[in-house]
Amino acid sequence: MEQNKDTQTYTLAKLQMFDECPQKYKFCYIDKVHIVEPITKTKTGNNIHNIINYYLKGMDVTKLIEALSPNEKRLWFNFKNSDIKNYKYIASEYAFNLKLDEYWMTGRIDALFEYDGDYIIIDWKTGSTFTPDNVKFQTGFYLLCIYEILKIKKLIKHPEQLSLHYYDLAADSVVKIRLDEDTYLQYKTQFLSIINKINETKNFFCHKTEKCRFCKYYRACPFF
């Protein structure tokens, strides 16, 4: 499969799907097989993300907060009492697009802050299933891309000046992950390797794991 490197873009979802199962990637992005799935992002998650975004942009969210359910108000309370009030707001719902070597990467982060010369990516979690292990791929993608962008803009010189904070609003806790030179190089190697495999792969095999039976393409998969 030949792809135009100048127009092909790579998202977190696309790279993660190929890494997990090349055959699923083929169904979704090459064959473009469309299967309707239930919406997995909860209404609560949408409500809180939207209100936080409006609030950070300086909008009056008073009436929106009044309309929240008791559980949503608890999540909002945890957000308002978190330590982000000590950080300098840079952007929220920040969409990015950058060229990494010869490939285009695109995505969106919940928010970006600055604190004492360092930059902090913020990701709000509102569900009950969040663990750092569940988001390892996301962690690498966000840290790598945002570091490259800040470096291009000459806002940052060293990987150690960037970290990613997962705010688990349901548990009222935060997980902080700081980038460093070794990890940055590992992330860059990892994602460029996946992209190269996508461009070079002709046999989109299936890893055939226990997760396969939960795949939306399970019944159509030629490996079963």
- Please check whether residue 170 lies inside any domain of the structure: yes
- Please check whether residue 210 lies inside any domain of the structure: no
Judge whether residue 208 has pLDDT over 80. Answer: yes
The total number of structural domains in the chain stands at 1
Judge whether residue 134 has pLDDT over 50. Answer: yes
- Portion of the chain with pLDDT greater than 90, in percent: 83
Could you say which DSSP state residue 202 is in?
A: S
- Round to whole Å and give the CA distance between 220 and 21: 14
What digits encode the pLDDT tens for the residues 73-122? 999 999 999 999 999 999 999 999 999 999 999 999 999 999 999 999 99
Q: How far is CA 111 from the centre of its chain?
A: 11
Of 50-64, 120-134, 150-164, 178-192, which gets the smallest average pLDDT? 120-134
| CATH number of the domain residue 84 falls in | 3.90.320.10
- Please check whether residue 1 lies inside any domain of the structure: no
- Please check whether residue 205 lies inside any domain of the structure: no
Q: What is the mean pLDDT of residues 164-179?
A: 96
Q: What is the mean pLDDT of residues 15-43?
A: 86
Give residue 118's identity as a one-letter amino acid code: D
- What pLDDT is attached to residue 6? 46
Closest CA to 135 of 100, 163, 175, 95: 175
- Please check whether residue 54 lies inside any domain of the structure: yes
The residue with tokens 């135009």 is 4
Closest CA to 195 of 31, 27, 29: 29
Q: What is the mean pLDDT of the chain?
A: 92
CB 25 within 8 A of CB 198: yes
- Portion of the chain with pLDDT greater than 70, in percent: 95
- What pLDDT is attached to residue 44? 77
- Please check whether residue 4 lies inside any domain of the structure: no
- Please check whether residue 3 lies inside any domain of the structure: no
What digits encode the pLDDT tens for the residues 139-151? 999 999 999 999 9
Q: pTM score, two decimals? A: 0.91
How sure is the predictor about 38, in pLDDT bands with cuts at 50, 70 and 90?
low
- Please check whether residue 209 lies inside any domain of the structure: no
Domain span at residue 186?
Answer: 9-200+216-220
Instruction: Give the β-pairing of 9-10 and 103-115.
Output: parallel
Q: Could you give the C-alpha distances from 195 to 33, 128, 156, in angstroms and in order?
A: 21, 32, 26
